[in-house]
Amino acid sequence: MSSLPQAVSRRRTFAIISHPDAGKTTLTEKLLLFGGAIQLAGAVKARGEQRRARSDWMKVERERGISVASSVMTFDYAGCTFNLLDTPGHEDFSEDTYRVLTAVDSAVMVIDAAKGIEEQTRKLFEVCRLRDVPIITFINKMDRETRDPFELMDEIEQTLALDVTPASWPIGMGREFLGCYDLWKDSLVLLSRTKGGLPDAGEPCSGIDDPMLDAQLPAHAVEKLRESVEMARALCPAFDPESYLAGHMTPVFFGSAVNNFGVRELLQGLADQAPPPRPQPTAQRAVDPCEETVSGVVFKIQANMDPKHRDRIAFVRLASGHFKRGMKLKHIRSGKQLTMHNPVMFLAQDREVAEEAFPGDIIGVPNHGNLRIGDALTEGEDLVFTGIPSFAPELLQKVRPTDPLKAKHLGRALTQLAEEGAARVFKPRIGADWIVGVVGALQFEVMADRIRTEYDVPVVFEPTSLYTARWLESDDPLALKKLLDGNAGAIADDHDGSPVFLARNAWHLDKAVDDHPKVRFLKTKG
């Protein structure tokens, strides 16, 4: 058993961000393979194929089914314990993805070497940037025809406004891809095209001029490598760990995940450079991971994994202390004590009962709906963790049951899904409809599917002419009442009963804001 500071310093909690098809699934599998968490290549891969074979919303449903086992993958490598948090892979905006990115300490950005920065990569990157999450870049598929490495690095720098520095340099590409020169360790790592096995560790050399390179590589390849490395060293800034940790610089590894190539160097890079768990912000104070008492925050809820049981798992990221199974934690929002009888730890494929866990680790707490996103669990101190984002619903649709007799069931389903954080749900004060607000259109399909399969209520979503929703707050109860009374047709309540203004268009919103200066119109609910 290790001491708390030791356990903290060896934790690396990270996520992979990428555009679909760049190779996230393949890389995940290879990381697990190197970490010894899976024996067989292909175990995770099957998911990628399954996913592609189905239509968009079914894909999401499928992912939900498997996502408990795979949403957190834990493995050891190079003396570190890695927690890899999966981000849902579909192309649509997803609040879940954003929340997962609030629970990591660093990220790996996978880029297809032929395509460069793609749309989803950029969006996910922007989310990381909000919290200055340090990012290591993995340029994948070097075994194919690719773009020039300098051009790719330049694109990262320009598009993402990040300093870029190579951690390895590719030798050739496509069929001529021979391997990489590891610039951090000064070693030559050659690609062996034997399928399945793990590639050899690199061969150390004294530097880029080492004659060993001439002996191992064709003359034209060595010449090109030396020239490129010289140029890269002249053009790119040297790796600066502080700048990386501040989220301003990304080191770049080149590789080919499908050939297991570059994965070892990437893992070593994460072990050596990626940050261990950092102090977590709360409204009261920053919580240091090495504090003795246990605390954690719910960043994701997974409901109804098994449609026959109404169980939910709350994913808690531990912020401090040495967690042990059976301990009692206070649920700050309700003030109740919860005994952690059977928390779940995530070891690649299986759910396992957690005996102990440390800051940066994720535990799954089965519950019946009392735990919600953003909730804190502590050994007693009243803490409110900040930094779990809430999103402005940008798309609003009406939802009704196809069978009018099921209106009550629908209400219950919507409330539960809203509590889980799957969408915002509003009940207009006038009329019988419910309004659902999301940030990505795909969420409507997912909701319809879940309400049908998990609650047995077939529903239809219909477009509305609503423009946006704003939560209403005021320090002056009379001012708020005046707005609510004077605009009854535009007022709804969310699942917690907080009042919301539903605007028909920008003018409608602006007018209400102007007319009611003492009321705050909030895009998100804190």
Q: Counting contacts by CB under 6 A, is residue 282 touching ligand G4P?
A: no
Interface residue with ligand G4P among 24, 185, 278, 372 (CB under 6 A) is 24
Q: Counting contacts by CB under 6 A, is residue 258 touching ligand G4P?
A: yes
Q: Is 198 in contact with 39 (CB distance < 8 Å)?
A: no
Q: Is 143 annotated as a binding residue?
A: yes
Q: Counting contacts by CB under 6 A, is residue 137 touching ligand G4P?
A: no
Q: Counting contacts by CB under 6 A, is residue 21 touching ligand G4P?
A: yes
Q: Using CA atoms, how far apart are residues 319 and 286, in angstroms rounded to an integer?
A: 10
Q: Is 24 annotated as a binding residue?
A: yes
Q: Counting contacts by CB under 6 A, is residue 124 touching ligand G4P?
A: no
- Which residue spans within 368-444 are E strands per DSSP? 376-378, 395-401, 424-428, 434-438
Question: Token pair for residue 233?
Answer: 């060293």
Nearer to ligand G4P, 88 or 387 (CB): 88
Q: Counting contacts by CB under 6 A, is residue 141 touching ligand G4P?
A: yes
CB of 52 to ligand G4P, least distance (A): 6
Q: Is 90 annotated as a binding residue?
A: yes
Q: Counting contacts by CB under 6 A, is residue 202 touching ligand G4P?
A: no
User: CA of 183: how far to CAs of 180, 226, 452, in Å?
Assistant: 9, 12, 54
Q: Using CA atoms, how far apart are residues 326 and 155, in angstroms rounded to an integer?
A: 50
Burial (0-12, 13-18, 19+ Cβ within 10 Å), 141: buried
Q: Which stretch binds ligand G4P (CB under 6 A): 16-24, 325-333, 411-419, 510-518?
A: 16-24
CB of 258 to ligand G4P, least distance (A): 4
Fill in the DSSP letter of residue 370: -
| Interacting residues with ligand G4P between 73 and 102 (CB under 6 A) | 89
Interface residue with ligand G4P among 13, 25, 273, 282 (CB under 6 A) is 25
Q: Is 101 in contact with 127 (CB distance < 8 Å)?
A: yes
Residue span 26-45 as binding mask against ligand G4P, x where in contact by CB under 6 A, dash where not: x-------------------
Question: Token pair for residue 76?
Answer: 């050891």
Question: Token pair for residue 515?
Answer: 């007319």
Interface residue with ligand G4P among 18, 102, 165, 416 (CB under 6 A) is 18
Q: Which stretch binds ligand G4P (CB under 6 A): 13-21, 224-232, 353-361, 515-523?
A: 13-21
Q: Which stretch binds ligand G4P (CB under 6 A): 14-22, 191-199, 307-315, 320-328?
A: 14-22
Nearer to ligand G4P, 108 or 418 (CB): 108
Nearer to ligand G4P, 91 or 379 (CB): 91
Interface residue with ligand G4P among 140, 146, 268, 304 (CB under 6 A) is 140
- DSSP, residue by residue, 114-152: TTBS-HHHHHHHHHHHHTT--EEEEEE-TTS----HHHH
Q: Tell me the sheet residues that pair with 470.
A: 501
- Which residue spans within 178-230 are E strands per DSSP? 179-182, 187-190, 203-204
Question: Could you tell me how many residues of this chain bind ligand G4P (CB under 6 A)?
Answer: 18
Q: Counting contacts by CB under 6 A, is residue 71 touching ligand G4P?
A: no
CB of 104 to ligand G4P, least distance (A): 17
Question: Token pair for residue 482?
Answer: 């005046």
Nearer to ligand G4P, 22 or 171 (CB): 22
Q: Using CA atoms, how far apart are residues 444 and 440, in angstroms rounded to an integer?
A: 8
Interface residue with ligand G4P among 4, 20, 415, 452 (CB under 6 A) is 20
Burial (0-12, 13-18, 19+ Cβ within 10 Å), 420: buried
* Rama region for 225: left / alpha / beta (φ>0; ψ in -120 to 50; rest): alpha
Would you tell me which residues interact with ligand G4P (CB under 6 A)? 18, 20-26, 48, 89, 140-141, 143-144, 256-259
Summarize the annotated binding site for GTP as residue ranges: 18-25, 86-90, 140-143
